[in-house]
Every structure is written in C-alpha cells, then in structure tokens.
Amino acid sequence: MNGRRLIGAAFVLAALALLAAPSASPQPSRPGALILDPSSGRVLARVPINHLITSAVPDGRGGWYVGGFFTRIGGQPRRGLAHLRPDGAVDARFRVPVASSRGNPVSVRALARAAELLYVGCACGLVGGLHRPGLAAIDVRTGAVLESFEPGTWTDIDRLAVTGERLLVARSCCNYPVRGIAALDLRTGALDRDWNAGFRLVGDAGVFNALVVHGSRVFAAGTFRLSGLPRNGLVALDARTGAPDRRWAPKPPNCPVCIGFASLSGLAVSDERVYVSGSFSRFVGAPRNGVAALDPRTGAVDRSWRPARGGQGILTIALAGGRLYLGTTNGLLALDAETGAAVRAPKVPFREVFPLVPSGRRLLVAGR
C-alpha cells in the first residue's frame, strides 16, 4: 500500500481493529500470493515473493501483471513489476524494471491495461530505463516503454483504470492538474480538462481505495466528497464525461473513528448489485458488518442481501466464481454473491490480504 493509503484507510482500519481485537500475540506472516479456483476455493498454485504485491491487473489471457516492492517473485529476479501466467509461473520474456531515478527499488502502486498497453503508476523515476516520473505505458508485446506517452510528473497515485480512450488517474494528494481523478489520452498522456467530477479532498485522510469501470459508469470508493452534490466516499461517474450520476445516491455512514466522513475500502460491481466494504456496522439503518450490497440504479441498500460474515478490517473485495471474496486484516473470507451466506474460503498463509484480482477462471490472492 502507498503512504497515502496507509495514512487514510489503513489507519482507520487499524484503529477499529485495536478497539475490537481480543488480547493475543500477533501471528508471524510473510508476503506471498496464491492462485485459487474461485468457484471452489481450491488452491491451484503458490507464488513466493520477497516483498509485497500491492497491485495487479488481468492480462486478458487468464494471468496477471503484478506490481509491488518486490525484487524477486516466483524464484525469478524482477524489480517491482512482473507477469504471472495462469499457473503462477513468471513470464521469462517480460522484464521491465522499475526504479528510482538513482536505480533504487521502488513500489509499483497501481496498474491498468488497455489491450496490449500496460499502465504503471509508481513512486519511480525510471521505467524500463526511460525517465518516467510516476507514470508510464508499456507495450507488453515487446516490453518497450511507449515513448509517445509522456504525461509529465505524477506523484502518489492511488488507482488507475481505463475507460474508452482515457486513462483515469486517481490520487488524493494534489489539486493539480485536476482534483481527485484526472483523465489522460491513452496514447499521449495529454490531459482531458473537460473530464472533471468535482472532487473535494479530505486532507491527510483522503484516499481512493477502489476504481471500477462497469459499462458506461465508473465507480469510486474511498474517503472524499464532491462539490455541489452530497456524496460521501462513494460515487458513480459517467465514463465518457466524468459527470456524477445524480440518480445513484448511496448514503454510507461516517466512519466511527473519523471526523465527519466515511471510509470505504472495497468495490465489486455486477449488473445486479454494487458491493461495497468499509468502516461501518450499519448502512441506512440496516445491520451490515463492514460489507453491503447496493442497488446499481439508485444506490439504495439491498435489504435482501445479508452478509453472514464481515468485520471492520476489510481491505478489499472481489467477485469471482459466484462468490464475494473479502480480503481482510485477518485472512480471507467468502460469501455467496447471491445471498450473502458464508462460504468456506481457504486458509491463507498471511494475515493481511490485498489485492484480490480475478482473471478468467482464476483468482489471485496476495498479502503479507
């Protein structure tokens, strides 16, 4: 996780966990990754790493591009960026090192993919040997950094997503060039100044924890507000214009340890429901233990979907194989996506689970 996220959502989750946790000695854990059959929860492969995977994106062929602070993954040397095949093996042909301007290891914070282009958001100065401060595009067929994509300097990127011909860059640290989420041309990195949702940032606690494109809308969750529209950490935007969807008006409660704002950590979207996790025990009066399902048209709570498990320490969520997987500060949980009933999930060899990324018929589970 990046520094901004640690200050924001992780701080909130840690505070809540301290209030709720029983007195016990912490269990040792180390970074790692698993590949699951999401329909059954069966472990298909284990991927050793020497440091965290903090971001991942499907490769379109059942595998993943993964980023983090690692320098070794699956027994192979890789600096911050790697390609995992569906069986968990590291792609020997994909070698694109990410480093600081002085060549030191750095963390890849966010990834997005558009066809054969991979977008990398990092605390970096060099990507593939070229000067790319904070943001780069890579042609995955050749491993070459796209020279025409020159977006300038970007810092503290929380999330990336692709919609149409735009790359969405979410960050809660800066007002320039656009507050909250900026839209860039996929090929050149030029800023689309007309795409502006009007975000208001929430000081040092602000963060974008999830950015999901679904159909003609982009859903964002985290800690933020909007100018001129009552939205508290959760919003749907028109993918083409960035305008907020006024009909989709969820009402998440303020976080119990926050001062006047909500803290939402995860999003998963289907045609039937929008699932959200965060620091709440109730959602518009309905008991919901850190995870809720909302109507995709209005944002109202789906009162028929009652989660059997949850908690205040949910870091991320993902829909896969008819299940809603919950990555938490105390392992992996799973619910039936249709009913919310508890489903058995495999015991993972790490306490904190993030990220959870489906690809084809597999699910990548990483953590520490």
pLDDT computed for residue 173 by the predictor: 84
- Calpha distance 348→257 (Å, rounded): 29
DSSP 103: S
Residue 272 lies in a domain: yes
Q: Token match 């965290």: residue?
A: 52
Residue 56 lies in a domain: yes
CA 278-283-288 angle, to 5 degrees, is 70
CB 253 within 8 A of CB 282: yes
% of residues, the chain, pLDDT over 90: 86
Q: Nearest CA to 53 among 74, 38, 26, 36?
A: 74
User: Which residues are bridge partners to 276 per DSSP?
Assistant: 267, 292
Residue 196 lies in a domain: yes
Q: Token match 């689970």: residue?
A: 353
User: Which residues are bridge partners to 334 per DSSP?
Assistant: 325, 343
Residue 143 lies in a domain: yes
Determine the structural domain holding residue 249 and report its residue range: 3-20+30-367
Residue 148's CB: how many other CB atoms inside 10 A?
9
Q: Structural domain tally of the chain?
A: 1
For residues 88-108, average pLDDT:
95
Average of per-residue pLDDT values in the chain: 91
pLDDT in tens, 307-336: 999 998 999 999 999 999 999 999 999 999
Residue 233 lies in a domain: yes
Residue 181 lies in a domain: yes
- Calpha distance 309→5 (Å, rounded): 25
Cα-based distances in Å from 153 to 125, 131, 136, 144: 9, 10, 10, 19
Two structure tokens written together for 352: 């904190």
CB 346 within 8 A of CB 17: no
pLDDT in tens, 128-186: 999 999 999 999 999 999 999 999 999 999 999 999 999 999 998 888 899 999 999 99
For residues 95-104, average pLDDT:
94
- Going by their DSSP bridges, the two strands 331-336 and 159-163 should be labelled as unpaired
In b/e form, how buried is each residue of 317-351, taking b as 16+ CB within 10 angstroms?
bbbbbebbbbbbbebbbbbebeebeebebbebebb
User: Confidence class of residue 30 from pLDDT cuts 50, 70 and 90?
Assistant: confident
Helical H segments across the chain, by residue range: 3-5, 11-20
Measured between its terminal Cα atoms, the distance across the chain in Å is 11
For residues 290-305, average pLDDT:
98
CA dihedral sign, ordered 244, 247, 248, 250: positive
CB 216 within 8 A of CB 166: no
**CATH number of the domain residue 300 falls in:** 2.130.10.10
- Calpha distance 314→279 (Å, rounded): 8
pLDDT computed for residue 29 by the predictor: 62
pLDDT computed for residue 18 by the predictor: 31
Residue 25 lies in a domain: no
